[in-house]
Amino acid sequence: MSRRSFIVGSISGLTVLAVAACTESAPEPTPPMPSTRSDIPQPVAFQRTSWTSDPLATGAFSYLPVGATPEQRAVLREPVDGRIFFAGEHTADVGPGTVQGARVSGRRVATDVLQRAQPGERIAVVGAGLAGATAARILSDAGFEVVVIEGRERAGGRISTFSGDEWPFPIELGAAVIHDAGSNSLSNALAAARIETTPVEARVERRTRAGAVAAESDVAEDALLEARTWAEGQLTDLSIADALVESGAAELSDESGEGGISDADRLENYVTADLGTAAGADVDDLSAWFAQPVPVLAEGDELVTGDFQSFVAAELEGIDVLPSSHVSHITTTEHGVSLRLVRGESYSAERVVVTVPLGVLKAGTIEFEPPLPFSHRGAISALGMGLQDKVLLRFEKPFWSTDAAVWTVIDGDTDFPLWLNLLPATGEAILVGLTGGEAAQRLAEYGDQEVLDAALASLEPFLDPSLASPRPSSGVGG
């Protein structure tokens, strides 16, 4: 759903969130991004991600759209002919869409291979992300001959670390948060590898466009719970957007309360930022039955601040890795599998572990011969690949006075509805802005300066004039 496809309409003193009309229209060319001017100071360092347009990712992480079910993740966990195995966060039964899920899937798939393979077999692993590196490490340590084939020049996949003199510590352009760190093994593994992580206090602050702090309220969360409960009683799945409207849960008052904020405003903010941007998908795509809202930051989470990518690279030490190698075909033979690269070389193995992102599978970049079973093809088609990108900004000094870690603006028409404030956790004036769904897809077409200007404009409600320095007239920092 686009930023404003929820339309506020008045019915008997109440407002409802109505889904935009479903009539098709001819596609329009992408308009130029309007020039924006902000009083926010220019950052001294700037980075942006491009997972949405990256052909080796085609998105950030998987989600469950309307009609998809968790069982389809389970289908992808099933080996094909005992030869082809799948891993990755999109196959995880615990923590799908997260790095924890990716690591769990790598350990699970290694166990599956161990149960079927004979000692000394050659195992090919396609993809050197966390899932692939985890599986490769276990299989190599078990005595198998392992080769990892990776399309990028580096290991890590959607874990991507950037270091530079303009940044006080390595910054994470991909996965950066360890959710519920106290209850998963990844946090312990990072600690054992001396990869620094930083606990966060995930307090959320919502502001109006005028900069007033909104009082805490559960009205939006309650409306979502009501809509999902209603949806569970329906014969077919429908989107969260439709469930909110058809259940009546979206019929909230549009009367302005404290700070000029209505309950309808709160719901629109919640579905745009907390649901849509966090999931990397618009809420008229998210399944009301199965899509579970996961906050981008919650109590008990940790930020990786010590080079996450090096952790993945360390898992692959001593293992044969072929970088910049794109697999185009995987053919099952009587005795094993044959893998053909785009540049023409072929490799044979007894078994293959495929850990490329769901979006790559959906794009059909790798051709399977014979074709994958209908169940697997159906699962790949049904699951969704979420689009989420971010900008990372470091400032010479903070221009804000709040110590909240998560920021969002109620009734703020912006492509960056969600911000993470790293100052309280790290002591550095660094902000991370998130964009998701349709907005992420659109922003991928714009240049750095346009994206930076849009990001700075979205931060206006958090500006403390007493702390801000005059804004330089031009240039992208960093």
What domains appear along the chain, each with residue ranges and CATH number?
A: 6-17+36-51+203-294+387-462 (3.90.660.10), 61-155+316-385 (3.50.50.60)
pLDDT, mean over the chain? 90
User: Residue 412 pLDDT more than 80?
Assistant: no
User: Residue 7 pLDDT more than 50?
Assistant: no
**Residue 379: enclosing H or E segment and its boundaries?**
helix 374-382
Nearest C-alpha neighbor of 148 from the set 131, 163, 169, 164: 131
Tens digits of per-residue pLDDT, 141-152? 999 999 999 999
DSSP assignment of 61-110 equals EEE-BTT--HHHHHHHTS-BTTTEEE-SGGG-SSSTTSHHHHHHHHHHHH
Burial of 79 (0-12, 13-18, 19+ CB in 10 A): middle
User: Residue 33 pLDDT more than 60?
Assistant: no
Give percent of the chain with pLDDT exceeding 70.
Answer: 90
Token readout for 49 is 């991600």
CB atoms within 10 A of CB 322: 16
**pTM score of the predicted model:** 0.90
| Of 466 and 76, more confident | 76
Given a contact cutoff of 8 angstroms between Cβ atoms, the answer to whether 89 and 99 are in contact is yes
Tens digits of per-residue pLDDT, 319-376? 999 999 999 999 998 899 999 999 999 999 999 999 999 999 999 999 999 999 999 9
145-158: b or e for each residue (b if 16 or more CB lie within 10 Å)?
Answer: ebbbbbbbeebbbb
| pLDDT for res 129 | 98
User: Residue 31 pLDDT more than 70?
Assistant: no
Tens digits of per-residue pLDDT, 178-214? 999 888 899 999 999 999 999 999 999 999 999 999 9
Residue indicated by tokens 């966390």 = 130
CA distance 128 to 323: 9
CA distance 6 to 392: 28
